[in-house]
Amino acid sequence: MPSRILAMNERPKLFRSIMDLGNTLSLAIALFLLATVWALMSPYFLTLQNVMNVLMFASILAIRASGLTVSMILGGMDISQNSVGAVTALLCILFSTSGAPWWQVLILVVVLGLAMGFINATLVSVFKIAAIITTLGTMQIFRGTAWIIKDATVMVTDPVLLALGRGRMFGVVPYVTIIALVVLVIVWYLLNFTSFGRKVYMVGGNERASYLSGINANRVKFIAFLISGLTAGISGFLVACQVGAALPQSGAGSEMNTISAVILGGISLSGGKGKMSGTILGILILQTINNGLTLQSVNAYFQMVVSGGVLLIAVMIDVVRSGALRKQ
């Protein structure tokens, strides 16, 4: 009898594991088919240089998306990340051009990312303002702050910072890709092997139930938005190092790219569901689409249409996955 009860209890876990594998597998198949199509259409797609370019640009998105993954599992969307990155990049590059050594600049990146994440975290967890409203407001505030700080392009002059954004280990693997892997592994570990990660899923799945079980939901939200701010600051700074300049308008208008990739990867809009593996595959799919369109010399405006379409498809997939249509 006890073994029968145990078997019954294990079925939901087994079913969830199969469903998670199915989602990851379907994304991997989609990525493979997409890569195959582009490889047939362009002889340059599978070249080492192009693959590394895809990884280089995907890495920036991956760093930003890792923090967004945590906040969205909580059910809170952070749309201020690109603005956080713009402010961080401008202040840090200005600090660098004033004569500060590269290691002090890197410390400032962390401080600024956490500081702006602290503002979002306080508004969401202390003042109870909905995350999407909070970050919509701070997105405008931070973007305006970036223009106030410097309404012109600031060039990156430190060779170490330029190497960080553009350099490649052994002349092949971009350093930003290595940084992205480190960030992704850290966030993956936090979500899967720490009490904080378990609390993130519980609060995102049912905040009321998590409160009754003794979890401090406000503290979990606070830490989550700190992480989101930190990853936003790091990614924005690396973009500046990559292009060789910090701009106040950096990332403006592309806020939905990260959200599209995360939702496409299986993160639920309602919270409580999602995995880092899905986020990574969603990023690779989105970046592969953009890269393939670029190789085909497709108009940039049409690429915007495709990106918007991907976001809508990702949301529709989330609606179907959540069972909302069946409930209706």
- Contact present, 61 and 257 (Cβ < 8 Å): yes
For 17-64, the DSSP string reads HHHHHHHHHHHHHHHHHHHHHHHHH-TTTTSHHHHHHHHHHHHHHHHH
pLDDT of residue 9: 46
pLDDT of residue 16: 53
pLDDT of residue 10: 47
For 280-320, the DSSP string reads HHHHHHHHHHHHHHHHTT--HHHHHHHHHHHHHHHHHHHHH
pLDDT of residue 7: 47
- Structural domain contains residue 150: yes
Crossing angle of helices 217-243 and 159-166, rounded to 10°: 100
- The model's confidence at residue 110, banded by pLDDT at 50, 70 and 90, is very high
pLDDT of residue 211: 86
Beta strand spans in the chain (E): 154-155, 168-169, 173-174, 245-246
Alpha-carbon span 198 to 207, nearest angstrom: 13
Tally of helices (H runs) and strands (E runs) in the chain: 14, 4
**What pLDDT digit, counting tens, does each position of 49-79 carry?**
999 999 999 999 999 999 999 999 998 999 9
DSSP 168: E
Contacts of 15 (CB under 8 A, 6+ apart): none
- Structural domain contains residue 3: no
Region 103-131: mean pLDDT is 97
**What pLDDT digit, counting tens, does each position of 256-285 carry?**
889 988 998 888 888 888 899 999 999 999
Alpha-carbon span 298 to 131, nearest angstrom: 36
- Structural domain contains residue 291: no
Quote the pTM value.
Answer: 0.90
**What pLDDT digit, counting tens, does each position of 178-203 carry?**
999 999 999 999 999 999 999 999 99
- Find the domain containing 223 and state its range: 43-250
- Structural domain contains residue 292: no
DSSP 101: -
Burial class (CB in 10 A: 0-12, 13-18, 19+), 86: buried
Contacts of 36 (CB under 8 A, 6+ apart): none
Region 1-26: mean pLDDT is 54
Rg, the chain, Cα only:
20
- Contact present, 271 and 284 (Cβ < 8 Å): no
Region 14-38: mean pLDDT is 76
- Structural domain contains residue 299: no
- Structural domain contains residue 31: no
Give the position of tokens 């809170």.
Answer: 76
pLDDT at 99 over 60: yes
Alpha-carbon span 6 to 2, nearest angstrom: 6
pLDDT of residue 124: 97
- Structural domain contains residue 110: yes
Beta bridge partners of 246: 154
pLDDT at 150 over 60: yes
Q: How far is CA 121 from the centre of its chain?
A: 17
Give the count of beta carbons closer than 10 Å to the beta carbon of residue 178.
Answer: 13
Q: Which bin fits 244, alpha (ψ -120 to 50), beta or left (φ > 0)?
A: left
How many folded domains does the chain comprise? 1
| Of the candidates 134, 138, 113, 116, the residue with the CA atom closest to the CA atom of residue 125 | 134
pLDDT of residue 8: 44
- Structural domain contains residue 62: yes
